[in-house]
Structure 1
Amino acid sequence: MEVVYLGVALVSLCAVLLSSRRRRRSAMNELPGPWQLPVIGSLHHLVGQLPHRAMRDLARRYGPVLLLRLGEVPTLVVSSREGAREVTKTHDLAFATRPLSATARVLTNGGRDIVFAPYGDHWRQVKKIAVFELLSARRVTSFRAVREEEVAAVLRDVAEAAVATRPVELRACLSALGIDITVRAIMGDRFKERDVFLHALDRSTKLVAGFNPPDLWPSSRLAGYLSGAVRSAKECRDIGNGILDAIIKERLERTMEGGGGQKNEDLLDVLLSMHKEGKLDMDAVKYVIFDLFSAGSETTTLEWAFAELMRNPKVMHKATAEVRRAFRAQGTVAEHRLNELPYMHLVIREALRLHMPTPLLLPRECREPCQVLGYDVPQGTQLLVNVWALGRDKRYWPDGPEEFRPERFEDEDAVDFKGNDFSFLPFGAGRRMCPGMAFGLANIELALASLLFHFDWEGPSPDELDMAEAFGVTARRKADLLLRPVLRVPVPFLESTPPAGNGDR
């Protein structure tokens, strides 16, 4: 008899719980999403694929907005133009803050930088300084000589490899170029512990990918203790801080002695000026420098553009012919005339579409309850916009979305990448849009034009070229890009330059 009573009680309890759930659903239009497991939530749906690819496949099954639970963290994933417009424009203010994961909190000292700073007075101040002082069009133009000198150094190295018929690992070459330009723009010159600093910075970038145990289960002390991610983050932060403290101290002492010796104002000078005026504390100065290094030295788009050109010989020929026609008389590429290369700019735009610098825009967090495409989003929900999926969606790119075809942007009404067309958001949109877009594009354009102008390139056949992506915040290439340069137009200031071939190919 007791067994019967127990059975009746369990059935009643289930009925009450089901009724309660139905009432909640009727009162609240809950986000759709795949089934979840205890503890891990939706993580099993991401196993075996890169997150942005797995989330694209889930969106095809469950719709353009869906809810995942990444460990303990409720996460809204947006994979449509309409959804992206709502979260970055219509409800931009509601999603204007950042969630501070355990590792990001350590690495940024609680959000003292630009990228991870929570929405508020500090973020508004550092964002304003970044937009109007550090990364304005005028400031980016002021570093033209730095870019031209560093690109010229790379051209000389590549030309020497061409003379020796030696292949070049182009990915490493382009990465070093981005780093050297960024170091000089920020610091004015290279510094002694550069490699140690950059190694710590690279480790930090990998740590903020968002899939560390303490980030997925923030309430669990055990997850944080066992993973070691927080300890690694503290180590990276302390290494970077120690190096920057020494550099800043030396700069301040040199300034006080009146021996600056700087030809042009670098970004460290600007930040220290902001500190002197009381607009930034010294902690913020250092963490803003971390952001500038992380974003400024990223060359993934340039690497992917080159890989796509190697995979598409007709596009390569057209881009090369254009740049050689434009600069044949001068014998070298000049940055101030890059606007004469419309097709090359289409190549860069198409590389951005297929290979977004950050496939999932850096996470935002819902500050207040709102609705996205009619679904209720609770406060505290993390937001991920899958811009990689948007860039390959056949609804917005009906003419071969997986093909590399720069001509698709020739139409005057073609979409731009400045946050105004929500099917193409390589730099984001709204309040949290990347402020360093102009700086990054300037590095890409000059390097790509120069390497195409002076060299032909030989490598694996298009079918053999490995186009796999590596896991991380940014969509870096997984494989090296080993190519053999063939000198076609002499490189200035290179001793014993061999006779060049036919520059018109």
Structure 2
Amino acid sequence: MSLRFGHVPVVVASSPAAAKEFLKTHDAAFASRPLSAAGRIIVHYNAGIVFAPYGDSWRHLRKIATLELLTARRIDMFRSARMEEVRSMCRSLLVADDRETGIVDVRGRVTALTFNLITFMLMGKRYFGKDTENEEGARKFLEVIAGTFEVCGEFPIGDYFPWLPKFLDPAEHRMHSLAKSLHEFLGENISEHENKRKNNKKNNTDEDFLDILLSLRDNGDKHLQNENIRSVMTAVSNVMGYHVPRGTTVLINAYAIARDSTAWGDDALLFRPERFLGTDLDIRGRDFEAVPFGSGRRQCPGMALALTTVHLTLANLLHGFEWREPSGESIDTSKEQYELTLLLAKKLRLIATPRLEQGTL
């Protein structure tokens, strides 16, 4: 369907066939990203992979991500760290958040796990659990990340009514505050790594992603200034018989596509995982009935890392524990919280009962 957000024409693709047209057939024509307040403020004038317009700079940053940082070899290098973090989280589940009821805040535990994995790969640091760097600082940084996801999911007045004064846009003020905190946190880690490099305290065996980026920068990569490093760390065509004017923003409605009855049947809204048995459905961008990582030129470069981490974490949680709802509570999946990503409106509160001996978790 065709909409208009302020002065911006918008086309929404809500079926697998429409998604295929934009993400594959006409991928090159729609590979750029519209300029936005979030890209301008949070990642320093669209300096990163997510917000940068399609062009030489974006292609270079994407190449660094896929050939230097997120290769199969690099991901495998951190295999033992992933295993240990998941084991640590499973052991932590033996102590409930509410000891009287035994209730565990599953989202909080998984958030801490994810944060530890990412910061260890990026900066060689852990922030939650034993032998951590600065748990209080990490919690504040997580609040900044959560705030960033919230504000990026809001309706930014300036993006759609650019002639209005910026001081009228509440999202703009919040973005500046969040960006300041975000850049300070990442800037401190960049300075710390630079000092270690000067003092020869790093070697190839303990390189993290930030070391690699700094090495590329110091070896003359003009596309990798500090603002780019921080951001890496956080046309006309006719489509399906319709004329899509130049400058149109295309939104791929992955929510509707995953619930499309023509692709999934009349029971599309039912939790029925056995529907995938015996199928060769590919969620890596080849098929368009489900596009959790996108497809085409703008596909998520962290897909392999995400799948590896999710499978490892979920397998350990299901193998190591029996899960049940607290007495009198039920999991309500009908209410959602809209941000940059989609979350359950309420935290996932469950009771975990170990299925294994403590020493084997």
TM-score of the aligned structures, taking structure 2 as reference length: 0.91
SS in 1 for 2:263: coil
Q: Which moved more, 1:259-268 or 1:115-124?
A: 259-268
Q: Shift in Å at residue 213 of structure 1? A: 1.6
Contact 2:326 2:351 in 1 (8 A): no
> CA-atom RMSD, angstroms?
2.2
Aligned to 1:422: 288
The answer to whether structure 1 residue 393 and structure 2 residue 281 are counterparts is: no
CA distance in 2, matches of 1:131, 1:144: 18
The answer to whether structure 1 residue 75 and structure 2 residue 17 are counterparts is: no
Gap runs ≥5 in structure 1? 1-65, 291-367, 495-505
Q: Shift in Å at residue 76 of structure 1? A: 0.6
CA distance in 1, matches of 2:348, 2:274: 25
SS in 2 for 1:483: strand
Contact 1:103 1:229 in 2 (8 A): no
Contact 2:96 2:103 in 1 (8 A): yes
Contact 1:162 1:486 in 2 (8 A): no
Aligned to 2:331: 465
CA distance in 1, matches of 2:203, 2:139: 24
The amino acid that maps onto 2:58 is W
Which contiguous aligned blocks of 4+ residues in structure 1 show a shift greater than 4 angstroms?
Answer: 162-165, 460-463
SS in 1 for 2:47: coil
The answer to whether structure 1 residue 188 and structure 2 residue 117 are counterparts is: no
The amino acid that maps onto 2:43 is T
Question: With CA pairs under 8 Å and 6+ residues apart, which has the higher RCO, 1 or 2?
Answer: 2
Q: Among 305, 308, 314, which residue is 1:442 paired with?
A: 308
CA distance in 1, matches of 2:309, 2:17: 32
The amino acid that maps onto 2:150 is K
The amino acid that maps onto 2:12 is V
Q: Structure 1 pair 142/275, CA: closer, same or farther in 2 (3 Å)? A: same
Q: Shift in Å at residue 166 of structure 1? A: 1.8
Contact 2:23 2:295 in 1 (8 A): yes
Contact 1:186 1:268 in 2 (8 A): yes
The Cα offsets for residues 396-416 of structure 1, whole Å up to 9 and x where unpaired, read as: 11261111111111124x311
Q: How does 1:58-457 map to 2 (within 5 A)?
A: 66-161=1-96, 166-190=102-126, 191-192=133-134, 193-209=137-153, 211-221=155-165, 224-260=166-202, 264-279=206-221, 280-290=224-234, 368-398=235-265, 400-412=267-279, 414-457=280-323
Contact 1:188 1:262 in 2 (8 A): no
Q: Shift in Å at residue 378 of structure 1? A: 0.6
CA distance in 1, matches of 2:170, 2:268: 41
The Cα offsets for residues 44-65 of structure 1, whole Å up to 9 and x where unpaired, read as: xxxxxxxxxxxxxxxxxxxxxx
Q: Structure 1 pair 142/462, CA: closer, same or farther in 2 (3 Å)? A: farther
CA distance in 1, matches of 2:62, 2:154: 23
SS in 2 for 1:159: coil
Gap runs ≥5 in structure 2? 127-132
Q: Structure 1 pair 89/210, CA: closer, same or farther in 2 (3 Å)? A: farther
SS in 2 for 1:119: coil
Q: Structure 1 pair 422/464, CA: closer, same or farther in 2 (3 Å)? A: same
Q: Shift in Å at residue 436 of structure 1? A: 0.6
Q: Which moved more, 1:113-122 or 1:73-82?
A: 73-82
SS in 1 for 2:287: coil
TM-score of the aligned structures, taking structure 1 as reference length: 0.66
CA distance in 1, matches of 2:236, 2:140: 44
Q: Shift in Å at residue 103 of structure 1? A: 3.0
SS in 2 for 1:111: coil
Contact 1:162 1:484 in 2 (8 A): no
Larger Rg: 1
SS in 1 for 2:261: coil
SS in 2 for 1:246: helix
Contact 2:154 2:339 in 1 (8 A): no
